[in-house]
Structure 1
Amino acid sequence: MNTMTLNRKLWLAVLLVWLGLLGVGLWSAIETRNTMLDDRKAALAGLGDAAQGVVKSYYALSQSGKMSEADAQREALARLAAMRYSGDGGYVFVSDSRPVVLMHPTQSDLVGKNMGDFKDPDGKLVFASILDATKATGHGFAQYQGRLLHSQERAPKITYATRFEPWDWTIATGVFIKDIDAAYYAMLLIHLGVVFAIGIVITLAMLQIIRSVRKSLGGEPEQAAELAAGIAEGDLTHAVVLRTDDSASMMAAMHRMQTRLARTIGEIRQSSESIASATQQIASGNGDLSQRTEQQAASLQETAASMEELTATVKQNADNARQASGLANNASEIATKGNEVVHRVIGTMGEINDSSQKIADIIGVIEGIAFQTNILALNAAVEAARAGEEGRGFAVVAGEVRNLAQRSAGAAKEIKALIGDSVERVNNGTALVSQAGTTMAEILQAVRRVTDIMGEIAAASEEQASGITQVGRAVTQMDEVTQQNAALVEQAAAAAASLQDQAARLRDSIAAFRVSESGQVTAKPAAVATPRPAVKPAASAGAKQASAGAPARASRAEAARKPAPAAGHSGPKGASAPAAAAPPASTSAPAATPSIRREPVTASDDDWTTF
Structure 2
Amino acid sequence: MKLEKLSVRRRLHVLLGAVALLFIGMSLLSSRVTRKSEAIADQVLADSLLSMQKEKLQVASHSMAVSLARLIEKEESTESKIAILREAIDTIRFESDESGYFFIYQDTTVVALPTKKNLQGKDLAEAKDPGGVYFIKELKDRAIEGGGFVFYQFDKPGVGIVPKLSYAELIPGTEMWIGTGVYIDNIATQQAAFNEVLNEQLLKERIIFFAVSGSVFLFVVLPVSIRIAVSVAKPLELAMKRLHENSGRILGSSTEIANASQTLASGSSEQAASIEETTATVCEIANLSDKNAERAEDAIALMTAANRSIGEVSERIDELHQSMDQISESSAEMQAIIKTIDEIAFQTNILALNAAVEAARAGEAGAGFSVVAEEVRSLAGRSATAARDTAGLIENSVATVGQGTRVMLSARESFAEMRGKTAEVSGILSEIEGYSKEQSSGVREVNLASEQMNQVVQANAAHAEECAASSAQLNKSFRDFGEVISLIEKVVEGAQAGRARADGAGDLDESSGSPVQVAAHGRMDRFASVAEDSWESGDSFLR
Alignment TM-score, normalising by the size of structure 1: 0.34
Q: Point out the structure with the larger helix share.
A: 2
Q: State TM-score, norm by structure 2.
A: 0.38
